[in-house]
Amino acid sequence: MSGGGEFNFIRQRLRPLTRGHPAALDLMDDAAILTPRPGESLVLASDMLIETVHFLSSDAPEVMAARAFGANLSDLAAMGAEPAGYLMAISWPKSWSDAQRDGFVAGLNAAAGDIPLIGGDTTSADAPLSVSITMLGFVPEGAGLTRSAAQAGHDVWVSGTIGDAGLGLDIARGKLDKQEHLLSRYQYPAARTELGQALRGLASACIDISDGMVADAGHIASASGVAIELEAAMIPLSTPVLHWLEGEGDEGLKRLVSSGDDYELLFTAPHDQAAKVLALSGRHGCEISWVGRVAEGEGVSVIAAEGDAMSFQSGGFTHF
Amino acid sequence: MSGGGEFNFIRQRLRPLTRGHPAALDLMDDAAILTPRPGESLVLASDMLIETVHFLSSDAPEVMAARAFGANLSDLAAMGAEPAGYLMAISWPKSWSDAQRDGFVAGLNAAAGDIPLIGGDTTSADAPLSVSITMLGFVPEGAGLTRSAAQAGHDVWVSGTIGDAGLGLDIARGKLDKQEHLLSRYQYPAARTELGQALRGLASACIDISDGMVADAGHIASASGVAIELEAAMIPLSTPVLHWLEGEGDEGLKRLVSSGDDYELLFTAPHDQAAKVLALSGRHGCEISWVGRVAEGEGVSVIAAEGDAMSFQSGGFTHF
């Protein structure tokens, strides 16, 4: 950590977030030192979130922190890693008050739970808030989940429910009436870290839904060199989303499977592992739903309830 | 890595920067997987650099990349770590052309040498360039250099020459006539990674000079609970800086020891190690100069050539 005027802030506000972890060196140095246990690999994910792009300027600082942390932690969950700590590099807007900075730190503190801050950097600029969190986790060597081992014939599964955060964003923007569940799915994303770890040795490919269910399934399809077919009727939806969908029809469903930020895990597994996958359902704070299958080919298709196939190509729709 | 429109850029422009390192997973996943060798710890440094604060908007994209990379690599050098790879999270200004982005990547490619890019994130925003590099390195367990073990009686040493980059910044701003050596010290900082590794087991505390020689010596003094006395006459200066100093006198020297971005290493070592330290001089592409001593007390003082003591307190000057 560096930056003249920032030292008191680091000592008083950020040091408690280290939870006393030795890797942090009390935030007195410019780097952290972390020692993995023997036989373990380190998983590292680094995201960049910018006000106006990833946050609304009307989001409370606590919400910005929760969203930044959740997005990064979710990347780790998708690799099946056990969280070990994080570095945060942040540029505060010069216009922010002390109370806003404190709000951000409070949000980070709440989101991190017992995961220690071990290093980073703070600065300030005449620019929108810009925050990069590097999240670190451990996996047994060779056991990290990736996107590239899905095979034709495997099942496709998803945790939790889809589309809540997208509608939550609409609520935050004042475009939709407030519903607490949906808004909180947008504001306080919960990464599926326990489920991710439980999927080691079980899932063949895994990704977290940050860009949207179809786009993220497409990342697995592309990395694994396969096609993914999703069954629209099997996509798990929460009660408030089902209510919203009643007035929207087919276009509404397209909207849900294209909206990001749910931070659920979408994963593939060999068909003979289905019983084991189902046995995990409900155990880690979320249901797990079968949503489709892996096939030969490329791209993602969504088979509508009526039997039509909707094809989604790099973010755009082709209905045929 | 994520972000819809960024995938081609990642595949075509960024993937070559991985040098094929397996930890990068070809940049197909949201996280990297790195396995330290047995008995080694991982050193991690994460900086945030923002256009207008850490770069001039007139700096070429290649220069911004070289400065961002150098600053982070230097943090690693100060811990005595061997570079292992880096993650880059970057937000491009929407106003940037493809040529500007390519220029940034070319600068990064040149600065990184054989150090692999293993992950990160790209996005773009109506905001100044914002880049956070998380640099990773290895040290033998327990051998990482920190700032907190300087003791009264130890010598203080510095690598290379001081103040070049500060005057280079003046040149970049058009305030000083161009001198290639000074400008390039500002534009293309060279981290002392080999020297840092050679100082393991030799230096008692080490820091890289990013905030300025006095301020950074102050960080060691503060972390170690000691005072540091520097001898003005012993501070190593390059020929162009010496020429500049002729017209500036005492205030010029204060300016040099307060200017940042030299990325030299300032370190302390027990007096009985002086011969070993001197034996390193010239070996790692830089001279090493004795510049002072560690004493009981706190803060940093600079003993002027005439015998006066200049005291520097948290960035400000007190002459007494």
pLDDT tens per residue across span B284-307: 888 999 999 999 999 999 998 776
More confident residue, B141 or A311: B141
Is residue A300's pLDDT more than 80?
Answer: yes
CATH 3.30.1330.10 in chain B, residues? 4-140
Distance between CA A144 and CA B197 in Å, rounded? 31
**Helix (H) and strand (E) counts in chain B:** 10, 13
CA distance A222 to chain B (A): 9
Residue corresponding to tokens 């589309």 = A163
- Report the share of chain B in percent with pLDDT over 70: 95
Which whole number is the average pLDDT over A265-294?
Answer: 95
Of B78, B125, B147, the CB nearest to A28: B147
Residue corresponding to tokens 């995938």 = B7
Candidates B88, B29, B19; CA nearest to A222 is: B29
pLDDT of residue B312: 58
CB A154 within 8 A of CB A293: yes
Interface of A with B in 291-320 (CB under 8 A): 314-315
Distance between CA A164 and CA A173 in Å, rounded? 14
CB B129 within 8 A of CB A8: no
Interface of B with A in 147-206 (CB under 8 A): 147-148
Interface of A with B in 234-273 (CB under 8 A): none
Model confidence pLDDT, tens digit, residues A54-74 = 888 889 999 999 999 999 999
Could you tell me if B119 lies within 8 Å of chain A, comparing CB atoms? yes
Is residue A199's pLDDT more than 80?
Answer: yes
Model confidence pLDDT, tens digit, residues B32-76 = 888 888 889 999 999 999 998 888 888 999 999 999 999 999 999
Q: If you measure CA to CA, which chain B residue comes closest to A41? A: B35
Residue A182 tokens read as 């949906």
Superfamily of domain A4-140, CATH level 4: PurM-like, N-terminal domain (3.30.1330.10)
Of A34, A44, A54, the CB nearest to B41: A34
CB A264 within 8 A of CB A159: yes
CA distance B244 to chain A (A): 27
CB A309 within 8 A of CB A303: yes
Is residue A35's pLDDT more than 60?
Answer: yes
Distance between CA A6 and CA A116 in Å, rounded? 20
- Give Cβ neighbours of residue A295 (< 8 Å, ≥ 6 apart): A152, A153, A226, A227, A228, A229
Superfamily of domain A155-319, CATH level 4: PurM-like C-terminal domain (3.90.650.10)
CA atoms within 13 A on the CB side of B217: 33
Of A3, A76, A132, the CB nearest to B31: A76
CATH 3.90.650.10 in chain A, residues? 155-319
Backbone angles phi, psi at B272, to 5 degrees: -75, 0
Model confidence pLDDT, tens digit, residues A140-182 = 998 999 999 999 999 999 999 999 999 999 999 999 999 999 9
pLDDT of residue A251: 86
Q: If you measure CA to CA, which chain A residue comes closest to B48? A: A89
Distance between CA B159 and CA A168 in Å, rounded? 55
Beta strand segments in chain B, E: 32-34, 40-50, 82-93, 117-125, 130-140, 155-159, 205-208, 227-231, 265-269, 288-295, 299-303, 309-313, 316-319
Residue A44 tokens read as 């590292």
CA distance A319 to chain B (A): 20
Could you tell me if A18 lies within 8 Å of chain B, comparing CB atoms? no
- Burial (Cβ within 10 Å: 0-12, 13-18, ≥19) of residue B281: middle
Question: Is B25–A148 a contact, with Cβ atoms under 8 angstroms apart?
Answer: yes
Residue B1 CB: number of other CB atoms within 10 A?
A: 27
Q: If you measure CA to CA, which chain A residue comes closest to B316? A: A4
CA distance A178 to chain B (A): 28
Most distant CA pair in chain A, distance: 63
Of A48, A122, A210, the CB nearest to B89: A48
Element (H, E) at A257: helix A249-258
Distance between CA B271 and CA B153 in Å, rounded? 7
Q: Which residues pair with A158 in a beta bridge?
A: A266, A289
Distance between CA A120 and CA A89 in Å, rounded? 5
Q: If you measure CA to CA, which chain A residue comes closest to B222? A: A28
CA distance B146 to chain A (A): 7
Q: Which residues pair with B208 in a beta bridge?
A: B265
Residue corresponding to tokens 């590097």 = A134
pLDDT of residue B3: 45
Backbone angles phi, psi at B86, to 5 degrees: -150, 155
Distance between CA B197 and CA B80 in Å, rounded? 4
User: Residues of A with CB below 8 A from B81's CB?
Assistant: 31
Distance between CA B167 and CA B182 in Å, rounded? 6
